[in-house]
Amino acid sequence: MTVEKRIFNFSAGPAVLPLPVLEKARDELLSWHGTGMSVMEFSHRSLHFESILEAAEKGIRRLLTVPENYRILFLQGGASLQFSMVPMNLLGHQDTADYVITGAWGTKAAREARRCGNVNIIYSDEANGFRAVPKVGELNFSRDASYIHYTSNETIHGVEFKYDLDAFGIPVVCDASSNILSKPIDIEKYALVYAGAQKNLGPSGVTVVIVRDDILERVAVNQHSMLDLRALARNSSMLNTPNTWGIYLIGLVCEWLDAEGGAAMMQRRNEEKSALLYDAIDSSDGYYTGHAERDARSVMNVTFRLRTNELNDKFCDEATVAGMDGLKGHRTIGGIRASIYNAFPREGVEGLVDFMREFARVNE
Ligand code: PMP
């Protein structure tokens, strides 16, 4: 397939990757840096892979300004395994963790945590259909909570925090799967941040975990090795064979992000891209309805719907024909979801806005 034939891919994840990253991976596919071997073919214990792992780690450390007292791990099992590993490592049977639920992923995280200890849901917007996030200062934390968990961007509902949650000394754990590196964050506010790679970082099959050293010291003893965050950190993510190819691609994505101006530039571009779509929704005289409340609108996943399910389906079908794929909303909430991660080009957003206006005109 030629480059000209690439379409606008609005998929929620796995999602569009930067074209220069794919091109570089293609160019290096058969022989990485003159080794005569593909990245997929050499040992994870080789010097070659050591340098790849180091590049990915340094890239994330640089782009998110991660201090030296944090480890950066590249694990498997998806962000979903972190739903379990976080409480297995950090929540004793008698202890309590606070969970802030702003959508489907936080709900799943809390469900796994309940298997380990007490879970106190200190905020849930479920009754409102998951459209909002708590206001700054609105939360009441449990006394002696082992940690507080929240989801910085709920991918299905399109609901995003616009601030780093501060829990005044309680360790903050954040699932940042769908907005990591979309903007700068104050990493020192967090005890642990995790993210599946397949939206903003690379391909599926790698989960990045950024964890503060003192948190690792609290890990409950006698964990299964592959579920033991402390053991994984001590072994530089290499207790077993890591996803070498995925880690390589994360390194390339970091390189691309650096060349593009880093997280601050991504924030500017992402805000501009999402504003184009939200403006199209707001100026449609109610033809399109946004899902999230305004101050919680996601910059990464723009969720909206038309008046009927038939119109939602027609919209997606015709958009696909027009070269815009992956717009169907998640089956649990229906409607439309435009995922516009870092690598999603502005022209694709402009194309969708034109399509929305034309669709509304023709399907009055
Ligand atoms: N958390 C969030 C916010 C997500 O968007 C997803 C996946 N879409 C997950 C967790 C689960 O990730 P994985 O499929 O990598 O387990």
User: Residues enclosing ligand 1, CB less than 6 A?
Assistant: 13, 78-80, 105, 151, 155, 175, 177-178, 196
Residues with Cβ within 8 Å of 116's Cβ and at least 6 positions away in sequence, in order, are 87, 88, 91, 92, 93
199 classed as catalytic: yes
Given ligand 1 and candidates 81, 84, 133, 155, which is best to mutate, with the most ligand atoms within 8 Å of its CB?
Answer: 155
Q: Using the structure block, give the residue that is written with the tokens 């590196």.
A: 181
Residues 215, 258, 261, 274, CA torsion sign = negative
Q: Using the structure block, give the residue that is written with the tokens 């890990």.
A: 219
* Cα 14 to ligand 1 centre (Å): 10
- Among 32, 98, 105, 183, the active-site one is 105
Q: Which atom of ligand 1 is nearest to the CA of 151?
A: 3
* Cα 290 to ligand 1 centre (Å): 22
Q: What is the pLDDT of residues 212-224, one digit of tens each?
A: 999 999 998 899 9
pTM, to two decimals: 0.98
Q: How far apart are CA 244 and CA 295, in angstroms?
A: 39
Give pLDDT < 50 ranges for the chain: none
325 classed as catalytic: no
* Cα 105 to ligand 1 centre (Å): 7
DSSP calls for 240-274: S---HHHHHHHHHHHHHHHHHTHHHHHHHHHHHHH
Looking at residue 2, its pLDDT comes to 52
Looking at residue 4, its pLDDT comes to 63
314 classed as catalytic: no
